[in-house]
Amino acid sequence: MIEVIILVLAYLLGSIPSGLIVGKIGYGIDIREHGSGNLGGTNTFRTLGVKAGLIVTLADILKGTLAAALPLLFQADLNPLLVGTIGVLGHMYPIFAKFRGGKAVATSGGVLLFAAPVMFVTMLAVFFILLYITKYVSLSSMLTGIYGLIFSLFTGELPLIIVLALLTTFVIYRHRANISRIMNKTEPKVKWL
């Protein structure tokens, strides 16, 4: 029974729409009606600025970290990676925002921050290196996911490999429109790098 409660809590944690909350409370707007229409950190940065973008990104990371930590908090025999993945699903399809959520990047990172912190740090470094080179947040996110999957193969830990394969698939799937825009050369580039 406690396992079911933990999985439901993980989903509900992931479902907290950070971008929607920050946009409505701090700026009086629905972030989904601006920019890319996405609830994540990138659209928040572009639409509301650095302060709001940082708050949303950190909140989305924290959702993943807290979801992955639930088995430890409740002393339950559940893999943190599995529970964290449920949190990521909540972020992508949040019950509190009509199932229109983010693209899984920051929340996936939060899961890894708890379950595989060394991997998280290396992925963060890879993301910023790729962002500096490509100037595309979306492309950097997808390539970082692929890097994480390759990294997981060297650990030999099957649960980590499976979850990284899932999370990378989520990230690439949620960036379908971005892939089209990159190919058409219409994807916005970051201007601060």
For the stretch 39-77, pLDDT in tens is: 888 889 888 988 999 999 999 999 999 999 999 999 999
pLDDT digits (tens, 9 = 90+) for 74-130: 999 999 999 999 999 999 999 998 898 889 999 999 999 999 999 999 999 999 999
In a domain, 30, yes or no: yes
In a domain, 192, yes or no: no
Q: How far is CA 66 from CA 61, 83, 101, 150, 182, in A?
A: 9, 10, 18, 25, 33
Domain count for the chain, please give it: 1
With beta carbons less than 8 A apart as the criterion, state whether 112 and 138 touch.
no
Half-sphere exposure of 128 (CA within 13 A, CB side): 6
What band does 193 get if pLDDT is binned at 50, 70 and 90?
Answer: low
**How far is it, in rounded angstroms, from Cα 102 to Cα 122?**
23
In a domain, 73, yes or no: yes
Note down the domain range covering 151: 2-183
pTM above threshold 0.75: yes
CA-based max dimension of the chain: 50
In a domain, 193, yes or no: no
In a domain, 188, yes or no: no
In a domain, 15, yes or no: yes
